[in-house]
Amino acid sequence: MTRTRKFLIALSIAVGMAGAGAWAKPEPAASTVTLAPTQDQSQAAIWAARFLTRWHFKRVALDDSMSSEILDHYVEALDGERLFFLAGDLNEFGAYRTKLDDDIYEGDLSPPFVIFSRYRDRVAERTVYARGLLEKGFQFDVKETLQTERSKAAWAKTSDELNDLWRRRVKNDWLRLKLAGKEATAIRETLDKRYRNFETRLKELNGEDVFQTFLNAYASAIEPHTNYLAPRSAENFNMTMRLSLEGIGAVLSRDDEYTTIRQIVKGGPADKTGKVKLGDRIVAVGQGASGPLTDVIGWRVDDVVDLIRGDKGTTVRLEILPADAGADARASTIAIVRDKVKLEDQAAKKRVLDVPNGTGTLKIGVIDLPTFYHDFEGQRRGDADYRSSTRDVARLIEDLKKERVDGIVVDLRDNGGGSLSEATQLAGLFIDQGPVVQVKDAQGSISIEEDRDRGVAWDGPLAVMVNRGSASASEIFAAAMQDYGRALIIGENTFGKGTVQNLVDLDQMARNEKPRYGQLKMTIAQFYRVSGGSTQHKGVAPDLKFPATWDPKDFGESALDNALPWTSVPPAKYQSRGDLSTLIPMLEGRHDQRVAKDREYQWYIEDLQSYRKTRETKELSLLESDRRAERDEMEKRKAARDAARKAAGEAVAEAPTHDPKPDNGLDPNEQPIVADNRDDEATGRPDVLTIEATKVLGDAITLLRGNSELAQRVKSFTLVAEARRVN
């Protein structure tokens, strides 16, 4: 799935949360406001085209051929699973196939808005049809299936074809809820609300959303990691990189017409009041201690967020309807002083695990790094406490050293990257000066990003965990640690993203005083390992492999359209720290013997195989007997595992469990708010792969401590002396 498609789906399927009102027969969709491009958007498109054609690493002309690609990517962004458009619609859109390039240069953005208008009409038709099916319900003793993968399917020629497809989809939704124990009345209410909210969210999309989706279609038609960010999206991206914002410290979501408190940031302004609770509904927002309250019922969440955000030290007032109160209950007004809020969910964290090594116990520190972040704005201002992944990891290393750990595992699983400079600086915590990554620009010039600081934060035993979701900056860091022989790389082959993006502020280029044009995240270079090879397509291969979670054809750089090819450059001049090649076969042998007897690890492999088999299945049975048998088998397997854990004297609730949860029939954004937060807290338990990675590093430490000749050959890290340990 492309990012552009994900983007629009995320916006348009932001349906309500828990709770459902009375079900009502559907009525034809009310008329919606006609969307049209603005002059600013026309100018932004022209500026974007200038940069994309002249300065992108992969220079591609904006011509008839590219116009055709843009059209295909835009249609995919709107209807990638081919659930709404008809073949006749696509034939009509064909009139734009060789015109979009000229339209962009001429500032005429009407075609994408015309296409979006048709999309909105088609969604309204399907929503009315889907809701209409709910009154009669379904019989589940008919042998039929639902096609689950339609991205390559033929476009439906008639509404009757789409109706049959949607009948099966609604039937599947109903069956999921029925298997979860819901009664018919509750199922009708839940599904009617789901489909109604889907259309409501779609109607709320504005011209900026349409324009951003279209320009992203152009960007992704060139290369998959190039994006356009409209002004609001650009600010949100920058906040993510800073890991901070100024506001009240609450995550908001939509529940019917209400904006709801989905999550409260611990220690944030909202939390400190003691008056804001999960599930509370915001009905109005006021500025300052006495400013007028603005009714926000029915507003888009991001519009409400804009009202609530503000400068540190200022006051915002929220009129709140308690979570457990009825719609007619009395609302209360809460004044909150805005402050700087740290987005700790994406910050580096640590834990220490005890690992038996035969004669005693080793202490292994685990540092989880979800992304490579850097508050460049705070650094420019001279803020002493500006956030960066390297600064945070350095602090955590000092904490772990005080805890006398024997080794450290850096967990980069599902870390999609971030700042290139952060990857370089993070590597500098573990190597004493030297090149980290080579960068080749569009002109073919090669520069070297290197660690120039003397000394290291940690010279002891080190491992890096990666998986298919580890990309970009994660691959730079992992590749450097591997090339220097500094760390064991454990896990599965990484994503394979070997390109460098730079943010181009179109408003700055056009000298606009206020944000009007947005930003381009544009590929400007390709990076290479110090050994000369690229991570593009190939990724970083681990020294010790864990089972693969994804097939490369389904996920990774090799699965993306228009990805750049693999190439290489001459190696940089660097001094390897050591050679782990002699050690790795020994570690593999111990790992294989251990996991063969590890009950949790074998269960993990069993679940992974089942998951991959399910992914390869392109059809879903709509026979209740088939689906109930599958559910019963899963619940039986879960019960047997829990019984085995209890028999072994383990606390089931605290086990590092990977067991799949029974489907409750709800979409992710329909899950109960309190349950969601409990699940988030539960993720703090170490998973089976983390535990095994610490054992692998423990094996390395034990082998090297017991064999000085082997340690001399490996030379990859300084062993922590037993005398430093505090038992």
Whether 682 shows a pLDDT value over 60: the answer reads no
Angle at 606 between CA 603 and CA 607, to 5 degrees: 90
- Residue 204 CA to residue 12 CA, distance in Å, equals 8
pLDDT of residue 461: 97
pLDDT of residue 645: 87
For 519-558, write each residue's pLDDT tens digit: 999 999 999 999 999 999 999 999 999 999 888 888 899 9
DSSP tag of 533:
B
Q: At what angle do helices 207-222 and 39-54 cross, to 10 degrees?
A: 10
For 360-389, write each residue's pLDDT tens digit: 899 999 999 999 999 888 888 888 888 899
- Residue 307 CA to residue 310 CA, distance in Å, equals 8
pLDDT of residue 242: 67
Angle at 101 between CA 96 and CA 107, to 5 degrees: 100
- Residue 371 CA to residue 426 CA, distance in Å, equals 12
**H or E stretch covering 698:** helix 688-705
* pLDDT (average), residues 452-481: 96
pLDDT of residue 681: 42
472 given a catalytic annotation? yes
What's at 599, amino acid-wise?
A: R
Q: Which is the catalytic residue, given 497, 543, 621, 716? A: 497
545 given a catalytic annotation? no
Band (pLDDT 50/70/90 cuts) for residue 132 is very high
Q: Domain 345-714 has what CATH class?
A: alpha beta
Of 471, 498, 497, give the one whose Cα is nearest residue 417: 471
- Residue 316 CA to residue 324 CA, distance in Å, equals 23
- Retrieve residue 101's tokens: 């390039």
- Retrieve residue 102's tokens: 């000229």
Answer positive or negative: Cα dihedral of 474, 479, 485, 488.
positive
Residues 457, 473 contacting (CB under 8 angstroms): no
Instruction: Give the CA dihedral 306, 311, 315, 320, nearest 10 degrees.
Output: 30
**H or E stretch covering 426:** helix 420-427
Tell me, rounded to whole angstroms, the distance of Cα 55 from its chain centroid.
Answer: 28
pLDDT of residue 305: 87
Whether 714 shows a pLDDT value over 60: the answer reads yes
Q: Where are the domains of the chain?
A: 3-222, 244-342, 345-714
| N-to-C CA span, the chain | 50
- Residue 363 CA to residue 694 CA, distance in Å, equals 9
Q: Please, where are the H alpha helices in 180-300?
A: 184-204, 207-222, 231-242, 269-273
Band (pLDDT 50/70/90 cuts) for residue 464 is very high
* pLDDT (average), residues 245-268: 83
pLDDT of residue 9: 30
- Residue where the block lists tokens 């979800």: 370
Band (pLDDT 50/70/90 cuts) for residue 227 is very high
What's at 85, amino acid-wise?
A: F
- Retrieve residue 495's tokens: 């994503």
- Residue where the block lists tokens 């476009």: 155
Going through 248-405 in order, the beta strands assigned E by DSSP cover 250-255, 258-264, 281-287, 293-295, 315-321, 332-337, 339-342, 349-356, 361-368
Tell me, rounded to whole angstroms, the distance of Cα 452 from its chain centroid.
Answer: 32
For 506-517, write each residue's pLDDT tens digit: 999 999 999 999
483 given a catalytic annotation? yes
- Residue where the block lists tokens 């709910």: 134
* pLDDT (average), residues 25-38: 64
For residue 317, the tally of other CB atoms under 10 A from its CB is: 20
| Residue 318, CA distances (Å) to 58, 279, 289, 330 in order | 49, 14, 11, 13
DSSP tag of 323:
T
Q: Please, where are the H alpha helices in 572-623?
A: 583-597, 599-616
Residues 364, 407 contacting (CB under 8 angstroms): yes
- Retrieve residue 25's tokens: 């027969």
- Retrieve residue 91's tokens: 């034939």
For 300-311, write each residue's pLDDT tens digit: 888 888 888 888
- Residue 694 CA to residue 566 CA, distance in Å, equals 33
For 439-463, write each residue's pLDDT tens digit: 999 999 999 999 998 899 999 999 9
Whether 269 shows a pLDDT value over 50: the answer reads yes
- Residue 213 CA to residue 198 CA, distance in Å, equals 18
Residues 410, 463 contacting (CB under 8 angstroms): yes
Q: Which is the catalytic residue, given 472, 474, 534, 716? A: 472
pLDDT of residue 724: 46
> Which one has a higher pLDDT value, 238 or 120?
120
Q: Chain-wide mean pLDDT for the chain?
A: 88
pLDDT of residue 685: 62
Whether 267 shows a pLDDT value over 90: the answer reads no
Q: Which is the catalytic residue, given 483, 507, 543, 699? A: 483
Whether 404 shows a pLDDT value over 80: the answer reads yes
Residues 662, 367 contacting (CB under 8 angstroms): no
For residue 685, the tally of other CB atoms under 10 A from its CB is: 13
Whether 435 shows a pLDDT value over 80: the answer reads yes
pLDDT of residue 2: 36
Of 203-207, 613-617, 660-664, the one with minimum mean pLDDT is 660-664
CATH hierarchy code of domain 244-342: 2.30.42.10
